[in-house]
Structure 1
Amino acid sequence: MLRITKDFQFSASHRLDHLAEGHQCARVHGHNYTVQLELSARSREDLTEAGFVRDYGDLSDFKKWLDTELDHRHLNEVVPGFNPSAENLAMWIFEVWAERFSEISAVRVSETPKTWAEYRP
């Protein structure tokens, strides 16, 4: 398996439902998020003619989408129908972009430098 990854950043606010009274994440708060896309190829035959899983330049559309749809937004108003936890964001981003990037194999979302949620179907 060949894998490439690229990190992207955005800043946004959210609040999480279904938490104990007084839980800090139940209040509106913000994060400087990092989203990591992982794209994979099974063999040399699956690589592009240039030898890439995918050209990193092709991922610029993803960065434009993050900047337009998520950056400096309140995620509870942006993401459709679920609590915007890092776990749910990772799954949602994967689902939105799987059609565009058939090589996508995982999405990781970080809210802090020490925490990550990963979706790998």
Structure 2
Amino acid sequence: MEIYKDFSFDSAHFLPHVPEGHKCKNMHGHTYRLRVFVKGERHPHLGWIMDFKELKDIINPLIDQLDHKLINDIKGLENPTAENITVWIWDNIKPLLSNLSKIELYETPTTGVIYNGE
């Protein structure tokens, strides 16, 4: 079984490697939505895979690093494409959450990345 929890953060970024004239070369912002999936067996007594509050307590410090920040200033995110941001998030969550199965990062309501560590 798999559970998920949604998080959001507002951040600015620019893409330094796109061609001159590309609108994403300029600084701009997004309201990102992050969906974190955790896979596991239901606890026989509690009936859940994990407490949603525990999941929130793991993810919120990471969200705090991104929220209302210029993502380009974060170490490892100097080229903050949606794909690179997603991998960075995964790499920072996975050591804290062994049963993490995938994450989805929505840069806009209609565009995003799904990543499972591969």
Is the structural similarity TM-score above 0.5?
A: yes
C-alpha displacement at 1:73, in angstroms? 0.3
Structure 1: state its 5+ residue gaps: none
SS across alignment from 1:99: helix
Residue 20 of structure 1 corresponds to: 19
Superposition misfits of 4+ residues, deviation over 4 angstroms: none
Which piece of structure 1 moves more, 69-78 or 83-92?
83-92
C-alpha displacement at 1:111, in angstroms? 1.0
C-alpha displacement at 1:116, in angstroms? 1.2
Q: Percent identity?
A: 33
| Maintained 8 Å contact 2:77/2:88 | no
Task: Compute the TM-score of the two structures, normalised by the length of structure 2.
Answer: 0.89
SS across alignment from 1:73: coil
Which piece of structure 1 moves more, 75-84 or 54-63?
75-84
Q: Which amino acid aligns with 2:49?
A: V
Q: Which amino acid aligns with 1:47?
A: R
Q: What is the root-mean-square deviation of aligned Cα atoms in Å?
A: 1.5
Q: Does 1:63 align with 2:40?
A: no
| Maintained 8 Å contact 1:14/1:75 | yes
Q: Which amino acid aligns with 1:60?
A: K
SS across alignment from 1:98: helix
